[in-house]
Amino acid sequence: MNAPRPRLSALAIAVGIVLADSSIVVLALPEIYRQLDTSVAGVTWVLVSFNLVMALAAVPAAHLARRIGPGRAAAIGLAIFAGAGLACGLAAELNTLIAARCVQALGGAIAVTAVLELLPATVGSERRAVAVWAAAGATGAALGPAVGGILTELVSWQSIFLIQAPIAIAAGVPVLAVARHEAATGIIATELRPTGRPHLLANLALALASAAIAAALFLLVLLLIEGWRLTPIGAAIVVSVMPLAALLGARIGPRAGSERARAAAGSILVAGGLGGLALLPKAEVALTVPPQLLIGIGLSLVLSALTETALAGRAPQAIHGGWTISARHAGVAVGLILLTPLFTAQIADQRRDAIDAGTAVVLDSRVQPLLKLELAQKLEDRLEGEQGKVPTIGPAFEPLPEDPEDREDVLTLRDELQDQLDRAATHAFSPSFGLGALLGLLALIPIGLARRIDL
Amino acid sequence: MNTSLRGQLLIGVALAASLLLVGVYLAAGGSSYTPAKTQDPCKERQWRDPGGLQELAEQFSLSALDGAACELGVSRERLARALATPEARERFLERQRIDDEELVRAVRAGLLRAVDDAERAGALNPVLADPLRSTLRRIPPEQAIELIQNAEDLLDSLQGLFGPAQGLLEQFFG
């Protein structure tokens, strides 16, 4: 009990790794989608199931932590989380993976809420404990996709889960000392104070803001990998702008005004960033950077301000922490459930429009009719071969004609076709990004309604 | 600076940054970055200056596609893909709830429109236009069906339309 620094790191890592799990798998979804031979809607449940169980289990898990002791609860939670992570990594079919994700979320909910009970004794005050807990969670959630993308490309999607097991166990080692102390003495360190009502407006705003942030992460990754055909590691590098901006937001946040002002400014920035993504004027990776900067700074401001608000002056911390976890993950799950049918329908519509536009480009091109016939056949083969995904059309144009005039005509046709595909892939995500922006703006309503949201 | 003022400033900066981003992206064409819309096949399409017989035949085929698509109330692009293979044609007939006969009628109307378009564009001598129309009107249904069935390469119907059209044009120009 006398080693607060390693324990603080361990507790922060435990919170970070569990909350990273709600988004870490985002960049691996296209790979899981291909390997487990499922649908876009099906693979979304790898994310939805985790967030749904976290939302449902967080408050009961907090009660459990208070009954059996936070040390024991955190150790048990981390053990379940690690074991289920191994099962996720070894899953050979989607249903097994989703079931293991549910168990993982259960363990994660127990661990995260118990850690909030352990932190005040480690850092010296409840207020600082809440700040550490909220910051660790926001950092984990923001870093998740980038880490997941790197692991997916360098190793495999399974490695995302397999690597979590030793990290969770390592984070659990300092917690075991507390658990042993609780077991030996029979003393549960937490004071069994009566549970007050949760801060409804702050939690509602947290749910709406989380839904918007989930939309940003999930859709941007799908756009980069499935729409613009970036590799997972390429997409990971691109979306790492968001956690970097979140770090900036974490630095300016505490000095920038009241919790209410930070929450409102954060929601506006998230909505503005999503609005920018909904209105991308070209399929250029660089154009995603300004919206990501706004979203990253915004998510840091809004998540920390609302979490601190929801917990301020409320006891017991674990229960109210449980409510914030529940609100955040319910928001993510509802956001994904709302967005999935919208963007899958849009992808189908845009694919149809792209095929029409592409057909028109081929029919009207100046390419010689006989060459056109050959190209049309090759393009048709590529469309068939990609089974509904955005095709890479470059190979259909190889080898290029030797005649300079024909060559120029073919290259013009290739560029025009690629432009139509890019337009369709980008536009397919616009309404979903727009809905995400709306969710971010809706978060302003409970923030504005809270009569005394300031600490 | 007090907390309240800092908060107002933060909200103001957030609002300004968001509006600026959305405004810049809108001004750069963010709302119109969509795939090109297909043209109404019933509207006349400008003929390119045909450089030779092959190009003329191609323009003729495209006009015929427009005309047939207009008759059927579908886009030229959809009809072109529908005529690519027998399977695609079957699916098209099923979805449009029409039979081969109606399709042939539409294709024949399309071919006649192509003659009109070629004549209007000055690509076909008016003296030759009428005999060509008579020939096209006399194409028996079986031959029209065969013509469509043979169209397997260029986005469904191009080859099928292109071949006989070229033959006819060669007859008149050759």
User: What does the block give as tokens for B54?
Assistant: 């092959």
**B88 in reach of chain A (CB within 8 A):** no
Whether A383 and A363 share a structural domain: yes
- With respect to residue B26, please indicate whether it lies within any of the assigned structural domains: no
A420 and A432 assigned to the same domain: no
Size of interface A-B (CB pairs under 8 A): 148
Please report where in the chains the tokens 């970055």 appear, as a residue. B33
A356 in reach of chain B (CB within 8 A): yes
Q: What is the pLDDT of residue A110?
A: 93
- A6/B71 Cα distance (integer angstroms): 77
pTM, rounded to two decimals: 0.80
- By CB atoms closer than 10 A (0-12, 13-18, 19+), residue A193 is exposed
Half-sphere exposure (Cβ direction) of B12: Cα atoms closer than 13 Å: 6
Residue A268's H or E segment, with its range, is helix A259-278
- Which residues have CB under 8 Å from A2's CB, separation 6+? none
A-chain residues near B29 (CB < 8 A): 281-282
Residue A199 confidence (pLDDT): 87
pLDDT tens-digit readout, B32-69: 898 888 889 998 888 776 666 667 777 777 888 899 99
- Same domain (yes/no): A288, A371: no
Quick one: A259 and A386 in the same domain? no
pLDDT at position A433 is 95
Q: To 5 degrees, how large is the angle CA A245–CA A247–CA A248?
A: 65
**Structural domain tally of chain A?**
2
How near does any CA of chain B get to the CA of A287, in Å?
Answer: 9
Nearest CA in chain B to A363: B62
A279 and A366 share a domain? no
- Same domain? For A294 and A423 the reply is no
- Residue A82 CB: number of other CB atoms within 10 A? 23
What is the band of B7 on the pLDDT scale with cuts at 50, 70, 90? Answer: confident
Which chain B residues are closer than 8 Å to A426 by Cβ?
33
All residues at 6 or more sequence positions from B134 whose CB lies less than 8 Å from its CB, including other chains: none
Distance, in Å, from the CA atom of A362 to the CA atom of B109, rounded to the nearest integer, reads: 23
Does the residue B76 lie in any domain?
yes
Pair of tokens at residue A123: 């850092």
Give the chain A residue nearest B154 (alpha carbons). Answer: A373
Tens of pLDDT along chain A (455 residues)? 444 677 888 888 888 888 888 778 888 888 888 888 777 778 889 989 999 999 999 999 988 888 888 888 999 999 999 999 999 999 999 999 999 999 999 999 999 888 888 888 787 787 788 888 888 887 787 778 888 888 988 899 999 999 999 999 988 888 887 777 766 666 555 555 566 788 889 999 999 999 999 888 888 988 998 888 888 888 888 988 988 898 888 888 777 778 889 999 999 999 999 999 999 999 999 999 999 999 999 998 999 899 888 887 776 777 888 899 899 999 999 998 888 888 888 877 877 787 788 888 887 877 766 666 666 666 666 665 565 556 667 676 777 777 787 788 778 888 888 888 888 889 989 999 999 999 999 999 999 887 554 43
- The answer to whether residue A455 is domain-embedded is no
Q: How many domains does chain B have?
A: 1
- Whether residues A257 and B6 touch (CB distance < 8 A) is answered with yes
A362 within domain boundaries: yes
Write the CB contacts of A231 (distance below 8 Å, at least 6 apart in sequence).
A153, A225
**Structural domain range at position A176:** 4-347+428-449
Of B21, B62, B75, the CB nearest to A356: B75
User: What is the predicted pLDDT for the residue at A302?
Assistant: 93
Record the tokens describing residue A392, joined without a space.
């890479």
Residue B3 has pLDDT above 90, yes or no: no
* A225, A332: one domain: yes
> Could you give the CA distance from residue B117 to residue B127 in angstroms, rounded to a whole number?
15
- Closest alpha carbon within chain B to A418: B35
Do A371 and A405 lie in one domain? The reply is: yes
CATH number at residue A19: 1.20.1250.20
Residue B22 lies in a domain: no
**Residue (of A300, A308, A207, A183) closest to A245 by Cα position:** A300
**In A365-403, alpha helices (H):** 369-385
Q: At what angle do helices A232-239 and A200-222 cross, to 10 degrees?
A: 140
Instruction: Identify whether residues A228 and A203 lie together within a single domain.
Output: yes
**Residue A112 and residue A19 in contact, taking contact as beta carbons nearer than 8 Å:** yes
Task: Transcribe B151-163 into DSSP letters.
Answer: --STTTTHHHHHH
The answer to whether the beta carbons of residues A236 and A27 sit under 8 Å apart is yes
What is the rounded CA–CA span in Å between residue A289 and residue A82?
34
DSSP string, B68-82: HHHHHTS-HHHHHHH
In a domain, B46, yes or no: no
Inter-CA distances, A87 with A23, A30, A82, A105, A167, Å: 18, 20, 9, 13, 15
B17 in any annotated domain: no
Average pLDDT, chain B: 76
Output Rg (C-alpha) for chain A, integer angstroms: 24
Within 8 A of A376 by CB-CB distance, chain B residues are 153-155, 158
CA gap B51, A327 in Å, rounded: 68
What residue of A is the nearest CA neighbor of B75?
A356
DSSP H/E element including A98: helix A94-123
Q: Rounded to the nearest 10 degrees, what angle do helices A126-154 and A289-311 cross at? A: 140
CA dihedral B166, B167, B171, B174 (to 10 degrees): 50
Which residue range(s) make up the domain with B122? Answer: 53-173
Q: Which of A93, A104, A5 is nearest to A54 (CA)?
A: A104
Distance from CA of B32 to the nearest CA of A (A): 8
Residue B147 within a domain? yes
Q: Which residues contact A389 (CB under 8 A, 6 or more apart)?
A: A226
Q: Is A124 left (phi over 0), alpha (psi -120 to 50) or beta?
A: left
Question: pLDDT by residue (tens digit) across B134-162?
Answer: 877 877 765 655 554 443 332 233 333 33
* DSSP 8-state symbol, B31: G
Do A353 and A340 lie in one domain? The reply is no
Residue A304 resides in a domain: yes
ipTM > 0.85 (yes/no): no
For residue B13, the distance in angstroms to the closest alpha carbon of chain A comes to 8
Q: Give me the sign of the Cα torsion angle A200, A141, A121, A262.
A: negative
In a domain, B44, yes or no: no
Q: Does residue A181 sit in the same domain as residue A300?
A: yes
**Residue B160 domain flag:** yes
* CB count in 10 Å sphere of residue B42: 12
**In angstroms, rounded to a whole number, what is the distance separating the alpha carbons of residues A274 and A271?**
5
Half-sphere exposure of A336 (CA within 13 A, CB side): 25
A95 and A145 housed in the same domain: yes
How far is residue A239's CA from residue A237's CA, in Å, rounded to a whole number?
A: 6
Structure tokens, B84 = 């690519």
Is the separation of the CB atoms in A170 and A161 below 8 Å? no
Give CA separation, A347 vs A279, A342, A428, A433, in Å: 16, 9, 5, 13
